[in-house]
Homo-oligomer: A and B are copies of this chain.
């Protein structure tokens, strides 16, 4: 058992540092050597645990990135009532974290999708899987919101979900180099306006 623990510990250490550096510099602009230097680990050590840079990256995506997105964007709204307010609060919280993060480089998932878009199908599949989980969660919770009387029955849950995702991905990108605080405020104000549209307000 001690064995397995050590293995897990090392791999996790490698993955965590990898995510950190790929996020900061991008996948293609980060070399295995760069990462290993930071980890004080050797080439042999790396290739003992992973077969290639790409496989390494995919494992990071499936394990670390998935959990990160899930805990930040999915879990806080999953199964909740009053979806519109819940979603808005969840996104605002995410933006707040980004705003306060001195070393923010945007939305990890979004950045990687951008970097791999249209190529590297294996990697894209892993990234799209995460996106899909988020999307499905949004749609589900919006649909439930309809039956629970929080969301207008005319609202198009799928379209709303896509709109939320795209706007969030975009604002995270803009916030990196712009006035994050101001952008966050502006974004949230517009998003909340937009959300008011589909509140259940049929006066019957």
**Chain A positions near chain B (C-beta within 8 angstroms):** 24-26, 28-29, 104-106, 110-111, 113-115, 117-119, 124, 128, 156, 158-160, 162-163, 165-171, 173-174, 176-177, 183, 185-187, 189-191, 193-194, 196-197
Contacts and interface: CB of A to CB of B under 8 A. Distances in A.
Identify whether the interface residues of A are mostly helix, strand, loop, or mixed: helix
Given A24-B118, A114-B114, A114-B115, A170 B165 contact: yes
Contacts of A119: 25
Given A169-B169, A170-B165, A193 B194 contact: yes
B176 A167 contact: no
A116 to B, nearest CB: 9
Nearest to A168: B170
